[in-house]
Chain A
Amino acid sequence: MITSVDSWCYVFGIVPAGAPVPSSDDEGPASGLRLVEVGKVAALVGSTAADRGLGRAADLLAHDRVLAEVLATGTPVLPMRFGAVVTDETAVQQELLSAHHDHFVEVLESLRGRVQYTVNVRYEQDTVLRQVLDEHPEIARLREADQQTETRAGFERRLRLGELVVRALERLRPTDAAAVLEELGDELDFCARHPTSPDEVLDAAFLVETAHAADFEDRVEEMGRRNAGRLRVRLVGPSPAYDFVEDV
């Protein structure tokens, strides 16, 4: 256990009291992992040096690793956003746990037996670009026009081409995203995120009962199979319910 006046409590998340504690790292937020308990709930905390700062790749990986390990034991976890640092254990007990004890008990109960899956769906770039050119004569024409970037007119044509393609993809997206969501089960709790790239169709988190996790994975696989050649599918999880606790 490393605790000194020069270290703060890095809070990974809220778990039931008595939850298993993953192995600690030698340094960084996941060093000196321990539970700080009040009644039925606990904060899973590590020690982070006051002068160290946070945000290295290793810090992010540690945050995820620790919470994933707790979840893997079947323990419900209320994950904190990365970077939750409190001065000391007393503050964790008084301000965080005691003040919100019943609320945390309730939320942990609602998360028991449920995990998050994140599904990221993108267009196969060449396939969708061909579709765009087929459906938009003006874009196909522009593509054949002179786009030599040495001239201002050429550069502007190229820019315009890219803009039209991006707009066209944005108009395709809602239909494809809705179809994917329907196929994955829009009866589930899900949370769709803002697309980060024009060729992204859907990036959504699903809250799935552990008992139905295999079914869900099969559904994602089937969706990937049906759309092979047109959509690329990536599945991350099971993970803590990061997307479902923001303002519980």
Chain B
Amino acid sequence: MSAPVQQRRGGYVDRPSPSGLADVVELILDKGLVIDAYVRVSLVGIELITIDARIVIASVDTYLRFAEATNRLDLYEKGGKDLGELTQSLTEGGAKGKTRGALSGAKEKVTELLGSDDDEDEGGEDEESRPRRRPRARQSAQRRRPQRGDDE
């Protein structure tokens, strides 16, 4: 994704211009009117040599990638503490000190860390722990049709 970034309004948003291949793939692959529904007899069943770039699976690769990203984090709490010592204390002493258990405490810390005044990170703990398998775009439940409700 190497399209030049246009930052004409304040610079907080990437606006590729013109769109590079990655953006175009995201934008058009699997999107648009499906011609099969309209043309049945003279449709050419051409084989597309593209891949569905939007398929993602919670795979081993993904897990390893995020494990490595997490391991790479240069944590502010670590200070000069020796890794072995830290591991030891965590193993033996449970979560005390480092992790403070209570979500509200953690949240306060995150808010402070981010300098954010938003309050959008509440409670993942008691939500369902399984990943949501949402339908792909065409079955999206949030979808609304343009031709209805034209009067918005």
Residues of A within 8 A of B (CB): 8, 11, 13-14, 53-57, 60-61, 63-64, 78-88, 91-92, 95-96, 99-100, 106-107, 110-111, 114, 118, 120, 125-127, 129-135, 137, 139-141, 143-147, 158-159, 161-163, 165-172, 174-176, 179, 187-198, 203, 207, 217-218, 220-221, 224-230, 232-236, 239-248
Asked if B48 contacts A82 (CB within 8 A), the reply is yes
1/0 per residue B7-33: CB within 8 Å of A? 001101111100101011111111111
Contacts of A246 in B (CB 8 A): 31-34, 137-138
Contacts of B106-152 to chain A: CB distance below 8 A: 106-107, 109-110, 113-116, 118, 120-122, 124-125, 127-129, 131-132, 134-138, 140, 142-147, 149-150, 152
> Which of B25, B116, B144, B146 has the most CB atoms of chain A within a 10 A radius of its CB?
B146
Write the nearest CB–CB distance from B92 to chain A, whole angstroms.
11
Write the nearest CB–CB distance from B104 to chain A, whole angstroms.
10
Q: A60-B50, A135-B110 are in contact. Are A194 and B134 (CB under 8 A)?
A: yes
Contacts of A127 in B (CB 8 A): 113-114
Partner of A14, one of B28, B33, B131: B33
Asked if A235 contacts B147 (CB within 8 A), the reply is no
Please report the number of residue pairs spanning A and B whose Cβ atoms sit closer than 8 angstroms: 311
Asked if B95 contacts A137 (CB within 8 A), the reply is yes
Residues of B within 8 A of A (CB): 9-10, 12-16, 19, 21, 23-35, 37-44, 46-50, 53-56, 58, 60, 62-71, 73, 75-76, 83, 86-87, 90-91, 95, 98-101, 103, 106-107, 109-110, 113-116, 118, 120-122, 124-125, 127-129, 131-132, 134-138, 140, 142-147, 149-150, 152
Asked if B62 contacts A130 (CB within 8 A), the reply is no
Q: A57-B21, A135-B124 are in contact. Are A192 and B142 (CB under 8 A)?
A: yes
Task: List 9 contacting pairs A-B, 8 Å CB cutoff, sorted by A.
Answer: A14-B33, A53-B49, A87-B44, A95-B38, A163-B63, A175-B122, A226-B118, A233-B13, A240-B32
Partner of A86, one of B12, B42, B98, B99: B42
Contacts of A100 in B (CB 8 A): 38
For the complex, what is the distance from the CA of A141 to the CA of B97, rounded to whole Å? 12
For the complex, what is the distance from the CA of A137 to the CA of B65, rounded to whole Å? 20
The chain A residue sitting closest to B54, CB to CB, is A196
Main secondary structure of the interface of B (DSSP, over half): loop
Partner of B49, one of A54, A99, A107, A161: A54
Contacts of B136 in A (CB 8 A): 193-194
The 9 residue pairs across chains A and B that have the minimum distance between CB atoms: A162-B63, A224-B12, A91-B42, A162-B67, A171-B124, A137-B99, A55-B49, A242-B31, A81-B32
Partner of A179, one of B30, B39, B91, B118: B118
For the complex, what is the distance from the CA of A169 to the CA of B66, rounded to whole Å? 10
Asked if B16 contacts A234 (CB within 8 A), the reply is yes
> Which of A134, A190, A242, A243 has the most CB atoms of chain B within a 10 A radius of its CB?
A134
Partner of B62, one of A92, A120, A198, A241: A198
Asked if B23 contacts A129 (CB within 8 A), the reply is no
Contacts of A244 in B (CB 8 A): 145-146
Partner of B28, one of A63, A166, A194, A203: A63
Asked if B46 contacts A54 (CB within 8 A), the reply is yes
Asked if B28 contacts A60 (CB within 8 A), the reply is yes
Contacts of A85 in B (CB 8 A): 43-44, 46
> Which of B49, B101, B140 has the most CB atoms of chain A within a 10 A radius of its CB?
B140
Known: A158-B71, A221-B12. 7 other contacts (CB 8 A): A81-B34, A82-B29, A134-B99, A158-B64, A189-B145, A230-B114, A248-B146
